[in-house]
Amino acid sequence: MSEPFETLFEGEEMELSFGPQHPSTHGVLRVMLKLDGEKILDAKPIIGYLHRGTEKLFEKEPFPQCIPHTDRLDYVAAATNNQGFVVAMEKLLGITIPPRAAYIRMILAELQRISSHLLWLATHAIDLGAITPFFYTFREREEILDMFEAYCGARLTLNTMKIGGVPFDLPDGWVETCSDYINRLPAHIAEYETLLTGNRIWKKRTIGVGVISAEEAIEWGLTGPPLRGSGVKWDIRKVFPYDRYDEIEFEIPIGKNGDTYDRYLVRMEEMRQSARIVRQCLDRLPDGPVMARVPKVIRATEGMVYASVEAPKGELGYFIVTTEKATEPYRCHVRPPSFINLQALPDMVRGRLVPDQEAVIGTLDIVLGEIDR
Amino acid sequence: MDQPLYQFIVIPLVKIVVILGVLSLIVAYLTFFERKVLAYIQVRLGPNRVGPRGWLQPVADALKLLVKEDLVPGGAQKFVFMLAPALIIVPAFLVFAVIPFGPATRLFGLLPEAIPPYLTDVNIALLFVLGISSIGVYGIILGGWASNNKFSLMGALRSGAQMISYEVPMGFAIISVLLMAGSLSLVKIVEAQQSSHLWFIFPGLLGFGIYFICGVAETNRNPFDLPEAESELVAGFHTEYSGMKFAFFFLAEYTNMLVVSSLATVLFLGGWLRPFPNVAWLGFLGIVPPFVWFALKVAGFIFVYLWFRGTFPRYRFDQLMHVGWKWLLPLSLANVLLVGLIVLLVKG
């Protein structure tokens, strides 16, 4: 008890334990702040409040049963988590999935990216005091969740991909629903932009806040929108295409200044690009089976594999080690984008004011489920 | 019943009871109004479960707050902690002693003689309003300080700085009205707008803008709601307050919104006057009683408040100071000069 009080009065500095129960830490993140008035002298993220030992659990589960655990990593983007794991497993086992399965996967993953970005926009805007975008984005996110429900029965923890394909074909009428939604989405995104993009207060709160240069971003190992916001054109879908992303046309939006506003614009554009990908996938959706021929009990050979996908938050990688004839991973390490992106937080907020920290936490778009694992 | 007793005790007492009662009711339903308006802005329905169309929601809220556990955090300055809610709500209500809701009326012939529907008309009403409403900031600062919570303290400090900074340009904006009206009495100001055939918003548009921006900042409402910015400071200065003490802070905020709106109505929108008060062919507008005009104008301001809240993000603390000192203050000074010049030229 005496320790915090000693630091409290030293040199007019104040220590503030920000979280783990706090409205704007997006989960159970705790940040120890050293403050001089409202100025942040130092920040130290403390994690581990949501640690569930997921990586250890992988070692006890047969390969197909690892997939539900991946749902719970980035719990707002379950489909891309599933995708990361199955892509890694297929690479390890040398399975080629049927084209229809790959296209369905891409549709699900891009819808998931849109829904994740919508959630990010909602919480980011509410952190900066704009409460209305939250309800608008949730209106659109709801429809995506409805589509997921129509496809696999679940809305959040989807468990919707299998090693070798996807568990179901698209139900009747699903393509039309999705197509209709994708046609409407750009208008909705324009609606959010009218509320925020040109708003003077929004610009004041985001331009020049949480700046990170391209070199620093690469040094920290940032991926996803935080990296692209700094002007680095790096997207796993382009540089190491998986599924059938090499057949699809889309742009990688990048920013210039590496500040919160640029990352905001990058994510807004990513939603439009995702819609474009879904549109192309729906138009070209091939016929055929949705599962490759995969044995009922999957047995691996001795080996190790690393494969990554572009999750909404950045590069999501799975490093899986297997032993001969094993039915479960010997070791599985997850490279979660949020965990690596969070490292940059102290650098981005040092010397700035407390409200900027909310902007930075929001713009990093972290999910504690995959940080603590 | 002798005349002085009747005139100085009974009538004012009745007025006090009526004003307090009606005001409390309005404030309670203002929370309901806010939730409904915000809901419709945000594509949802808002409260609609308690009573017909949710009309009893404020009653349910009040009951809930009354029976809630009243916590005093350990390490809090107990006396100051208790005092703070009173310090903020009393001045908020006190201001309504001088707000003129309408001209002297016989209430459609119910009363034997015309009685003004406001409590009193003091000749320094405007100073009274400014002075009393400034006391409210003590409630916030003391409440934040006494809570023994860092978030509360930061909220209180922000609030103190904010209210003091914005009171200066607000004062200057009000001075421009004084120049036009030539009186500090709110009733005289309204009458001056009648005799000059003009609401003061037309010559004083700039002053009106400055006044309203400052008013929003004074009441800690979005986009200037930093003292209670929930994404930064949990709930700001009232983080540790619960139950009825929290309700006092909450009610005071809404009452202050009413104060700012009423004052804006009186100073710039002609108080109880109908639009274009002296244009004869618009005489049919006189059917609507004066206090209804007053209420409509206030309601319009309140709606703008809620509209702001539904639309804008929040300023950062240093940006708020920047706006206050570097923009509003010079602008309001220039406005005083401008209005003074106009008054000098017109009145000679």
pLDDT, tens digit (0-9, with 9 covering 90-100), for A202-255 = 888 888 888 888 898 899 888 989 899 888 888 888 888 888 888 888 888 988
User: What superfamily would CATH give domain A54-372?
Assistant: Cytochrome-c3 Hydrogenase, chain B (1.10.645.10)
The answer on pLDDT for A317 being more than 60 is yes
Q: Does A138 touch chain B (CB under 8 A)?
A: no
Give the span between the Cα atoms of B160 and B163, in whole angstroms: 5
> CA nearest B319 in A: which residue?
A204
Residue numbers in A near B310 (CB within 8 A): 131-132
Strand A314-322's sheet: what is its strand order? Answer: A303-311, A314-322, A331-335
DSSP assigned state of B10? I
Give chain A as a 3 state SS string.
CHHHHHHHCHHHCEEEEECCCCCCCCCCCEEEEEEECCEEEEEEEECCCCCCCHHHHHCCCCHHHHHHHHHCCCCCCHHHHHHHHHHHHHHHHCCCCCHHHHHHHHHHHHHHHHHHHHHHHHHHHHHCCCCHHHHHHHHHHHHHHHHHHHHHCCCCCCCCCECCECCCCCCCCHHHHHHHHHHHHHHHHHHHHHHHCCCHHHHHHHCCCCCCCHHHHHHHCCCCHHHHCCCCCCCHHHHCCCCCHHHCCCCCCCCCCCCHHHHHHHHHHHHHHHHHHHHHHHHHCCCCCCECCCCCCCCCCCEEEEEEEEECCEEEEEEEEECCCCCCCCEEEEECHHHHHHCCHHHHHCCCEHHHHHHHHHHHCCCHHHHHC
- The fraction of chain B above a pLDDT of 70, given in percent, is 93
pLDDT (0 to 100) of residue A2: 42
Enter the ipTM. Answer: 0.80
Q: Does A235 touch chain B (CB under 8 A)?
A: no
Indicate the pTM of the whole model: 0.86
Cβ pair A23:B231 closer than 8 A: yes
3-class DSSP state of B209: helix
Token code pair at residue B262:
């009423």
The answer on pLDDT for B313 being more than 80 is yes
Domain residues of chain B, as ranges? 1-67, 73-347
Q: Are strands A30-36 and A314-322 parallel, antiparallel or unpaired?
A: unpaired
Q: Are strands A303-311 and A39-46 parallel, antiparallel or unpaired?
A: unpaired
Give the span between the Cα atoms of B299 and B305, in whole angstroms: 10
Please identify which residue in the block is written with the tokens 């919160």: A260
Which of B42, B313, B317 shows the shortest C-beta gap to A353? B317
Cβ pair A132:B311 closer than 8 A: yes
pLDDT (0 to 100) of residue A3: 47
pLDDT (0 to 100) of residue B348: 64
**Residues of each domain in chain A carrying CATH 1.10.645.10:** 54-372
The answer on pLDDT for A1 being more than 60 is no
pLDDT, tens digit (0-9, with 9 covering 90-100), for B49-75 = 888 888 888 888 888 888 888 888 887
Q: How far apart are the first and last CA of chain A?
A: 31
Residue numbers in B near A127 (CB within 8 A): 231
pLDDT, tens digit (0-9, with 9 covering 90-100), for B25-46 = 888 888 888 888 889 988 888 8
Token code pair at residue B57:
């929601």
The answer on pLDDT for A337 being more than 80 is yes
